[in-house]
Amino acid sequence: GESVGLHLPTLSVQEGDNSIINCAYSNSASDYFIWYKQESGKGPQFIIDIRSNMDKRQGQRVTVLLNKTVKHLSLQIAATQPGDSAVYFCAEKIYYNAGNMLTFGGGTRLMVKP
Amino acid sequence: DTAVSQTPKYLVTQMGNDKSIKCEQNLGHDTMYWYKQDSKKFLKIMFSYNNKELIINETVPNRFSPKSPDKAHLNLHINSLELGDSAVYFCASSQGSYNEQFFGPGTRLTVL
């Protein structure tokens, strides 16, 4: 079936380095993607989103890249900090007539070493 | 001042019992959701309500019955709890169905 998935379950980076978290999706009809951050014991928190008519979108220290040709999404975090340690999820939005639902990938745990 | 709140945060109960989880949002949103997160962190939507009306029901057993008394509340009642129901349940809300969803802190349900 079609799904959203992640390549790496755990990513360990040194504080100050850049982090790249990858996500593959298989639903070619998906036109909206979101990255969420989930810290331990908390709910997912919106980080950044991107629509399929864009290839790149930048936020504060974060950049999302979308490659529709290979159905690949990535989240880049610049100058990774200890506070960035969390599980990161990509999600695609699937639209119904009356609304939408988010389909989440399996998550990648980012560990930042001091 | 919590945007989306859930109670209780932890719930431990015996198999076969009936339990409820409550969710409230003070963001003025008209759409609310319930998600289930399993032990492998996989998040899956269960229900979506818009203006107290059920919009999405993702093949959830009918032991799960959501109830929305008003736009600010979406409660989840679970009958005859089973071991497989153990998970973290997240409530979320959004303004309309096409906007960013805000998640609550989660309720960790453990069925013994």
Q: Report the CATH number that the domain containing residue A71 is assigned in CATH.
A: 2.60.40.10
Assigned domain for B76 exists: yes
Q: Which two tokens mark A16?
A: 């100050």
pLDDT along chain A (114 residues), means of 10: 54 96 86 93 94 94 95 96 96 73 87 93
Nearest CB among A46, A98, A104 relative to B43 is that of: A104
For B2-11, letters b (16+ CB in 10 Å) and e give: eebebeeeeb
Contact flag B45-A101 (C-beta cutoff 8 Å): yes
Q: How far apart are CA B47 and CA A101, in angstroms?
A: 9
Q: Does A49 touch chain B (CB under 8 A)?
A: yes
B61 lies in some domain: yes
Q: Do B105 and A42 touch (CB under 8 A)?
A: yes
Instruction: Tell me the CA distances in angstroms from B77 to A3, A11, A19, B66, B67, one per residue in order.
Output: 29, 37, 41, 6, 8
Q: Is residue B86 part of a domain?
A: yes
B107 in any annotated domain: no
CA quadruple B40, B45, A76, A58: dihedral, nearest 10: -170
What pLDDT score does A26 carry? 77
Report the pLDDT value the prediction gives residue A1, as an integer from 0 to 100: 34
Residue pLDDT, tens place only, B28-86? 999 999 999 988 888 998 988 888 788 777 778 999 999 999 999 999 999 999 999 99
Residue B2 is predicted with a pLDDT of 66
Within-domain flag for B62: yes
List the CATH number of the domain containing B44: 2.60.40.10
Considering only the beta carbons, identify the residue of A41, A46, A98 that sits closest to B50.
A98
DSSP state of A114: -
Q: Is residue B19 part of a domain?
A: yes
Picking from B24, B9, B6, B34, the residue whose alpha carbon sits closest to that of residue B110 is: B9
Residues in Cβ contact with A33 at an 8 Å cutoff, skipping those fewer than 6 apart: A23, A25, A49, A50, A51, A52, A64, A66, A73, A90, A91, A92, A93
Contact (CB, 8 A) for A81 and A65: no
> Quick check: A84 and A35 in contact, CB under 8 A?
no
Kindly report the nearest CA distance between residue B70 and chain A, in angstroms.
Answer: 19
Residue B58 lies in a domain: yes
Range of the domain at A49: 4-113
pLDDT of B101 > 60? The answer is yes
Q: What's the domain count of chain B?
A: 1
Choose the mutation target among A100, A103, A104, A110 for the interface with B, i.e. most B CBs under 10 Å. Answer: A100
**Owning domain of residue B12:** 8-96
Residue from the list A43, A95, A96 with its beta carbon closest to the beta carbon of B106: A43
By the CB < 8 Å criterion, does A42 face chain B? yes
Q: Name the token pair of B94.
A: 């959004």
d(CA B99, CA B31): 10
Q: Is A46 on the interface with B (CB under 8 A)?
A: yes
- Report the alpha-carbon distance of residue A10 to residue B9 in Å, rounded: 27
Q: What is the mean pLDDT of the segment spanning B3-22?
A: 97
Total domains present in chain A: 1
Among candidates A43, A49, A103 on the partner chain, residue whose Cβ is nearest the Cβ of B90: A43
